[in-house]
Amino acid sequence: MLNIVLFGPPGAGKGTQSEKLLAKYNLVHLSTGDIFRANIKNETNLGALAKTYLDSGQLVPDELTIKMLESEIDKHQNSNGFIFDGFPRTETQAKALDEFLFSKNQSITMMLALEVEENELRKRLLLRGKDSGRADDQNPEVIQNRIDEYNKKTLPLKEFYTSQNKYKGVNGVGEIATIFELLCSAIDNN
Ligand code: AMP
């Protein structure tokens, strides 16, 4: 199985590149952000619990996020593997994911990181806000909260996966097709 954590700050291009990787490697896409947004739209209990966090740009509490992710993994017992997009975002989540996969004789193959600097991210997110209709992309304060949450809680995961020899960084600025090729060669040469 190929289990990839696609890593990078908000606006790095994780969603765009996930779509291309899924098609090529026949993987299941698990985007925690997409799942939360779908739950909010469908007015589920989970959606009600998650909404204030998404609206303000803060991370949803670990316990809730981990439980949701594990139940999503269990829905795809016969897959070739997963692309985890937007998960894990904290060290607690990363440890929980390792333990959960270990209990199923699985593991994370690698963390692929899209490296993009902050000014470029702000520009991209505001632009995406105009097209995507995502409220959290339209408010500069919420964008800054998301970048701050990333720097504080998520960036340490680079160290977590580096210490397992699983971190691969790729330049996330440039043509979509070029970045995709960099990601594919990182996977194929693993
Ligand atoms: P994203 O679509 O990945 O940018 O996520 C949008 C929002 O969903 C984030 O700002 C968080 O509020 C929430 N979220 C998504 N994934 C996670 C996660 N792994 N842990 C906590 N909150 C998350």
Known catalytic membership, residue 122: no
pTM recorded for the entire structure: 0.94
Known catalytic membership, residue 146: yes
pLDDT for position 135:
86
Say if residues 114 and 14 touch (Cβ distance below 8 Å).
Answer: yes
pLDDT for position 94:
98
Q: Which parts of the chain sit beneath pLDDT 70?
A: none
Q: What is the CATH number of the domain that holds 77?
A: 3.40.50.300
Q: How many helices (H) and strands (E) does the chain have?
A: 9, 5
Domain that holds residue 126: 2-188
pLDDT for position 133:
80
Count up the domains in the chain and report the number.
1
pLDDT for position 47:
96
- Cβ 53 under 6 angstroms from ligand 1: yes
Q: Which residues pair with 2 in a beta bridge?
A: 81
